[in-house]
Structure 1
């Protein structure tokens, strides 16, 4: 079975895509080059703790570049039906805690709680893709909502055939006119600290649907937003490769 089309607006415009990604790549690459040159030219005169700070920033910026390149590949694979999943048992609670710890490395103000019900079983899924999904949702909640009071919850769905993971923030919420558009390609809200390509949530929806799941957003202005991912417990069917 071919995974559901993650978007109804057709293939991404190559020119717009290249322009958007090129703009977003410029900042981390400039940072990597600048800090690397500084370390090379002034190594002996830089304090050890400062060296570690610069190297950590280089690592974080390199991770950012890697993620954007991964997004580019995912766009191509989602639109051509060539997304390959490697299903295996995944402990979602452990994965969620790991994601929060990693996001906290570059979100110093992040104050997040991970709460999973004791009866949540493992799901059979692609762990790397689910990590990408949860990372996108947690980072978006921190950037557009609030990094303080963020909650990641997991529970078994009412029908017992799926697991629901919800990421909730206590930010200003999403205006009703924007809520239907949050999963659209290139859509970025002006609230919060907008960065990135505007493709993260679009890709998130595609990755979740490729697993046979769904993702939805709800929000109350002035109170916060919740992004809810529902994943079936069974392994996703592997789509046939296009001829």
Structure 2
């Protein structure tokens, strides 16, 4: 029996209460490991965060943070962006990929804000998800980080880790969101999302997780699916945890991560 099979078997008969206790212990450990966990998109207000999050699809936070200063200098609020020539917006955001569709979306989004919400970003999920380019994931980013309304942001990292940690057996993002939310106090959900994203970016990678260097290995039903050798696992760590990162002066909030 492989290590991964043994790990899965160990938690196969876990009770709902046991799962909740284990999930919260994982979060407590991740809180210690990632004290700087936060939204890594730069923003000054809800409008900037909403636009930046729409732009972050299929690109990195670093890339978005490189283009938004110019974008917001040219179009500082929803009224300015609503009146912007789409071609001009395309040129500014070109490096984010899928720039034509993104330009159309953020201009249309701004127009909707002006026409329906007096230029302001709404603070309700039901309203946010009606805006162009905005689904539940984007809405939770905005609600949690701009309006202090906690929620689970189910991006690729959160989805992957929720399944590996056996927080859920679902693949549908809405079901994953609800399954995770059932395990934690609501007030913790936004920061929990950040910590899961940080862990997914740095250690629990999609293709080759660094199991041998994972601080929650003893609590993980998927332990053993990745690299087990401690030295080899440490070589897989990313960003500020990567070997030599401290010597290079890499900041804990530098990752370029595709959403």
TM surpasses 0.5: no
TM-score, with structure 1 as normaliser: 0.28
Bigger proportion of residues as strand: 1
Bigger proportion of residues as helix: 2
TM-score, with structure 2 as normaliser: 0.27
